[in-house]
Amino acid sequence: MARVSIGVPTYNGVETIAECLRCLQEQSFEDFEVFISDNGSTDGTSDVCAAFAKPDRRFHHFRSAETVPAAVNFTSARDLTNTPYFMWRADDDLTDGEHLERMVNALDRSPAAAVAVSPVLRITEYPTYQRKMYEPPSLSDETEVGRIRSLLLGCHPSWIYGLWRREPLVRSWDMVSAQYPYLWAADHLVLMFADP
């Protein structure tokens, strides 16, 4: 069994999915498996995913016959896996070649942490090209209210795509999903309620 599972929930991501999957193939840390949860794509995404899964045994493609809500597809991607460490990867996200290695090392060094995250560089092209870096907030010396404020207002939504210890992610995601029926802002809530 691999140490890390990566769930890639996708729907009609043909323009970006190949580069996303190639980025995963080229990681310096190699003890991982990728589980692509294809939400009934109709634009060629399925063909791209199947092409990655065929020659590389670390990649597995699962295509749903029908499209389900995005949060259900995220849960499906997670539930295809069972490794101690897990991360979701958006079908349009990229990282450098050492990203996964750094995240594994961070969790290995910090047994009390539920998730390891990295700075996020957001690049937008519409209406104008912009680049903005989001650094993780420091939560170490804050009161409970300060910590909650930092998590709710200071976290970038992409930190849901950090490397998680499986148990706290399952607990937090399932609790939030059961009580909060929206995808919008669920990422912040999952991060806020994640305890190792």
**Mean per-residue pLDDT for 4-14?**
98
pLDDT value of residue 140: 63
Distance between CA atoms of 137 and 27, rounded to whole angstroms?
26
pLDDT score of 27 more than 80:
yes
Of the pLDDT bands very low, low, confident and very high (cuts 50, 70, 90), residue 15 is very high
Q: Verify cis geometry, omega within 30 degrees of 0, for the bond prior to 127.
A: yes
CB count, 10 Å around CB of 75? 19
| Predicted confidence (pLDDT) per residue in 73-118, tens digit | 999 999 999 999 999 999 999 999 999 999 999 999 999 999 999 8
Q: What is the chain's mean pLDDT, rounded?
A: 91
pLDDT value of residue 96: 94
The model's pTM is 0.90
| Predicted confidence (pLDDT) per residue in 129-163, tens digit | 888 888 876 666 667 787 777 767 777 778 899 99
Q: Which token pair is 192?
A: 């806020």
Domains of the chain, residue spans = 4-117+156-192
CATH 1.10.10.60 fits 4-117+156-192, yes or no: no
